[in-house]
A and B are shown apart, each in its own frame.
Chain A
Amino acid sequence: MSTLTLIDYDAGNLASLEGALERLGFSYVRAASPDQAAASGPVVLPGVGHFETAQRSLRERGWWSELPGLVAGGRPLLGICLGLQLLAEGSEEAPGIPGLGLIPGLVRRLGPGVKVPNMGWCQARQARPHPALPDASGAWLYFVHSYALEPTDDTLLVAEHGRPFAAAEARGSVMGFQPHPEKSGPDGLRLLRAALTWMGAAAPEAPCS
């Protein structure tokens, strides 16, 4: 059980996420570059904004080249919102710009025929059972996005906006949420706590010697 590392790269505000981690009792460090990361423990990749801008910013700070190695070494990684999309192979938002490729699949634009961005609360449905997210079916989660991953075998939760899309993913030690669990009321905090605890983050409620 160890301290979380929160990647700080100017793509989305961290205030809400930090508030949620503090309320849940997780200890964390903000890390603008890999040398500021905790020695072990889960790494959280948040993100709001444009795929290409975020990718460039992660590159400039040395995270882009570092993350695949960390994951290969077994380090848990959690992507949130754009952070999840960056874990995929690429996005229609930035054709030709590769993603990290840590989970399979492409990120596609929502619609046509629905309002984009998808902004608001959607109820998630469990696509497959997973120890990181027990009892997640029916959870109300807050989404703000124009792009989403198509559901694959790695999808844990599915939500719908015109068509089904991946709301949570897990592949080995890599996880991701399309919604903002830190903005999703009691259900979101419950899922965030479950996911981070499963990933090995230190939480006072689950002491480990």
Chain B
Amino acid sequence: MPAKRVIPCLDVKNGRVVKGIQFKQLRDLGHPAELARRYDQEGADELVFLDIAASLENRGTREAWVRDVARELSIPFTVGGGVSSVDDARSLLRAGADKVAVNTAAALRPELVAELADAFGSQCVVAAVDVKRDADLGWRVYLKGGTAPTELAAVEWLWELNDLGAGEILLTSMDRDGTGDGFDLPLLDLASELPIPLIASGGAGQEVHFLEALEHGADAVLAATLFHEGILPIPRLKAYLAQQGLSIRI
């Protein structure tokens, strides 16, 4: 069994890492390669970059920073945001990304996941899924950055993604995201029955939340603000998790 992974998530806009303040203003945190180096040195196991303003026009900008990050990092990284074709994915992988994350485009055209798995192997394909608790569906899948509800029940969609060839699931609870109240553990219980690795996202507020998520079947835990703001430094979190008896790379 591989060690449990701790993954900072970075939002990128026009080639800069940004952080939203009250959903409106964006604060500039620096160049992706700079932040990548910092997290590498702090002992992050992997990084996820989400291009929050991906478009055809800025594809060149994106390839440039992905290449810079690849040269700087000594750990793996995933890039997502607007990936909707094999060509999109190829340009990111060629630039040095280890994996690509697909979300909205996969829900609109599920064959995309199979095409990516055939072209590059399942290990390159991360399926990102945003969900919210729902009276009818248990958990409902949302697209377009959580703005567009679908009729998809999360658990069914996760199994379909697995069958299509996704190599890993990045599962975000929109109910918990930004609350600091802890991960949605019943959701993780269901999702961890999948035979592929699961990254839990949304809700981390303190050390014990990460422990809970990993004990509820997640293979990796992802957070943004806690790490970016230095509220919970990665070395401290990893030392805590190791102390609790989990297999952690220290």
Contacts and interface: CB of A to CB of B under 8 A. Distances in A.
Interface of A: 13, 15-16, 18-20, 22-23, 48-50, 114-123, 140, 142-146, 160-161, 180, 182-186, 188-189
B interface, over-half SS:
loop
Interface stretch (B89-97, B132-140, B178-186): B89-97
Interface string B70-85: 1111111000000000
A188 B74 contact: yes
A119 B71 contact: no
Interface of B: 1-3, 5, 40, 43, 45, 67, 70-76, 93-98, 120-124, 167-168, 195-197, 219-220, 249
Given A120-B219, A121-B45, A144-B76, A13 B93 contact: yes
B123 A13 contact: no
A140 B247 CA distance: 11
Contact of A122 (B3, B72, B93): B3
B115 to A, nearest CB: 15
Contact of B75 (A122, A146, A185): A185
A192 to B, nearest CB: 10
Contacts of B67: 15
Contacts of B2: 118-122, 143, 161
A13 B167 contact: no
A15 B1 contact: no
A120 B2 CA distance: 5
Contact of A183 (B1, B43, B75, B124): B75
B5 A121 contact: yes
For the complex of A and B, 4 pairs with smallest distance between CB atoms: A15-B96, A120-B2, A19-B71, A15-B70
A interface, over-half SS:
mixed
A143 B93 CA distance: 17
B221 to A, nearest CB: 12
Given A16-B96, A49-B121, A119-B123, A183 B76 contact: yes
B40 A121 contact: no
Nearest to B192: A115
A190 to B, nearest CB: 11
A2 B64 CA distance: 31
Contacts of A122: 2-3
A117 B167 contact: yes
A119 to B, nearest CB: 5
A189 B74 CA distance: 8
Nearest to A122: B2
B124 to A, nearest CB: 8
Most buried by A among B70, B74, B98, B219: B74
A115 B219 contact: yes
A160 B247 CA distance: 13
Given A13-B70, A19-B71, A185-B75, A114 B1 contact: yes
14 contacts: A13-B70, A15-B71, A15-B94, A16-B73, A16-B98, A19-B72, A19-B73, A22-B71, A121-B5, A123-B249, A144-B76, A180-B76, A185-B74, A185-B249
Given A13-B96, A16-B98, A182-B74, A123 B121 contact: no
A180 B77 CA distance: 13
A32 to B, nearest CB: 14
B197 A120 contact: yes
